[in-house]
Structure 1
Amino acid sequence: MQQLLKDNNLILMEAAIVEPLRRSVDIQLHPRLVNAPLIYEKAGRAALAGLYQGYMDIAAAAQKPFLMCAPTWRANRERVTETGIKTSINIDAVHFLQELRELQGAEKNNIRIGGLIGCKNDCYKPEEALSATEAEAFHAWQVEQLQQSGADFIIAETLPAIEEAIGVARAIEQSGLPYFISFVIMRNGCLLDGTSLETATSVIDVNTLRQPLGFMVNCAYPGFLCAERQPPELFNRLVGCLANASSLDHCDLD
């Protein structure tokens, strides 16, 4: 993964997966696990495959590497246990994407698969975020499952607060897999808890023995990054933007 970043000045990632599913009349998202259980349903697998395939086709046409993430955003131990679903759901979700990748012919060599982790609670409410110690313990089980899955990397997304981000980074670094940390930001370019991106990236780098490959922002309009006001050094570590199409604040989105 490190070499992939060094060798390419542009890498594509999937766009929305959950949102088009949420608006589909044929698909029912799980109230706790969101899109993860769809891998066990015929219609759900077809819907997921169609979305991922569309993004893979775009990357292939552009002749760019492509990163795609398993639908495991909410498949943490707490939610998996309370719903009674198969405890192998994280592993099964990664295997589902690996099967899709195998269908891509020569293009499969340009595709990397990530295990996706989300925060424990509401990603738009930083006051609900875990402490670093709590987060390291809470996310450890899912990290272990994704490590066993054969994923190429792990990415923690939709992190609204620095404390939980530190903890999940510490949990992931123990897996030995390359990883990314991605924050939700406000329109002033800061995390939802008010931490600047410069501070957030520096704090995580200092508090981990094996640092992330890079940092990203997600679920925010591109302009929220305020790139022109960020210190240039930030972009040595900030490597990606998974943007919203809407410029509305998070509280105004449906």
Structure 2
Amino acid sequence: MAKYRHDLPIGKGKQFLLDGGLETTLVFLDGIDLPCFASYPLIAETSGRTRLRDYYRQYANIAIKADAGFILESVGWRANADWGAELGHNAEDLAAVNRESIRLMEEVRAQIETDNTPMVLSGCIGPRGDGYQADTAMTIEEARDYHATQINTYAETAADIVTAMTMTNMEEGAGIAIAAKQAGIPSVISFTVETDGKLPTGQSLKEAIMAVDEASGSAPAYFMINCAHPEHFADILEPGAPWMDRLKGIRANASRMSHEELDACTELDDGDPEEFGTLHASLTSQYPNFTVLGGCCGTDHRHVGEVFAKCAHTASKAA
């Protein structure tokens, strides 16, 4: 069973960098066709693996320059049973992809990790349904059983943690946290929020985090916000509130558009990278517990570079 080599990136006074919007970068900037918005099929192609190595190295260099850590997130966001079936892949295919994805991350880490830039391998888990809509209702138990297959595969690799991205509802997040706990690997749960700062179900972020902790025995290592512009959730954060201690990371969108508007877009809205960095600096100044920072839809190395250029001064406050 995997044992993480480094302390998890929480409460250590060190910021950890995440990459940006992998899929939007591949589709809109690199012109790569991704059926079902799935990046994991690239693992099976020599050119695809080369493209992914180059992508992660670009972000690793930002982390090294910023004297920050780096979380290497695998390409398993769509590598689950329902999305795999859409793409013609069975359980054996998906297990091989998830294992190979971590091996690729191992290779990158072995080549570029430094003492000042520790690198954590994360097995990415996506939602059963759409990351913008709460359209796949499951109980906590159903979500645990559904996602356990992918989580158990990651637990048998060198993955240090598993990260559930774009979770739209509490039940799926709780099921994943429980499955990871049972597999013996730390988990991170990241919730999608709308322009009002609430989950697509209408539940508040505070309620969702507290409910996952209650259902799982506080199993997640920490929680994150993803897939929303910083201005969409800044007003729902509560300085000094206990639940805020559980919230450590941000993967924000470059665009201020709603999810419905983004779905209808045929061109990339990449916002303003410099403003993106400034908004993150404001958040980390007020909430130094935000130590895991990256990007989501529409972001690339420019946005993440600006975040770390402007947020580096807040890192010491998190100690």
State TM-score, norm by structure 1: 0.92
Q: CA deviation at 1:210?
A: 5.2
Match of 1:75 among 79, 82, 106: 79
Which runs of structure 2 are paired with 1:51-200 in the superposition (5 Å)? 51-80=55-84, 82-84=88-90, 85=93, 87-106=95-114, 110-200=118-208
Query: Which deviates further from its counterpart, 118-127 or 85-94?
Result: 85-94
Q: Which has the higher contact order (CA 8 A, sep 6+)?
A: 2
Q: What amino acid does structure 1 have at the position aligned with 2:118?
A: N
Structure 1 gap segments, 5+ residues each: none
Q: CA deviation at 1:228?
A: 6.0
Equivalent residue number for residue 286 of structure 2: none
Equivalent residue number for residue 33 of structure 2: 28
Q: 1:243 and 2:240 equivalent?
A: no
The list of structure 1 runs, each at least 4 consecutive aligned residues, that deviate by more than 6 angstroms after superposition, is none
Q: What amino acid does structure 1 have at the position aligned with 2:171?
A: E
Q: Sequence identity, in percent?
A: 30
- Structural RMSD (CA): 2.1
Q: What amino acid does structure 2 have at the position aligned with 1:132?
A: I
1: CA distance, partners of 2:256 / 2:47? 32
Q: What amino acid does structure 2 have at the position aligned with 1:20?
A: T
Query: Which deviates further from its counterpart, 196-205 or 100-109?
Result: 100-109
- Cα contact 1:120–1:130 (8 A) shared by 2: no
SS at match of 1:127: coil
Structure 2 gap segments, 5+ residues each: 1-5, 266-319
Q: What amino acid does structure 2 have at the position aligned with 1:171?
A: A
Q: What amino acid does structure 2 have at the position aligned with 1:176?
A: G
Q: CA deviation at 1:129?
A: 3.4
Q: CA deviation at 1:229?
A: 4.9
How many aligned residue pairs are there? 253
SS at match of 1:23: helix
Equivalent residue number for residue 16 of structure 2: 11
TM-superposition CA deviations, 1:23-67 (whole Å, max 9, x none): 2555332x2571111112122112111111111000000000111
TM-superposition CA deviations, 1:60-94 (whole Å, max 9, x none): 00000111210000111344464243631101101
Q: What amino acid does structure 2 have at the position aligned with 1:27?
A: I
1: CA distance, partners of 2:176 / 2:8? 24
2: CA distance, partners of 1:25 / 1:117? 24
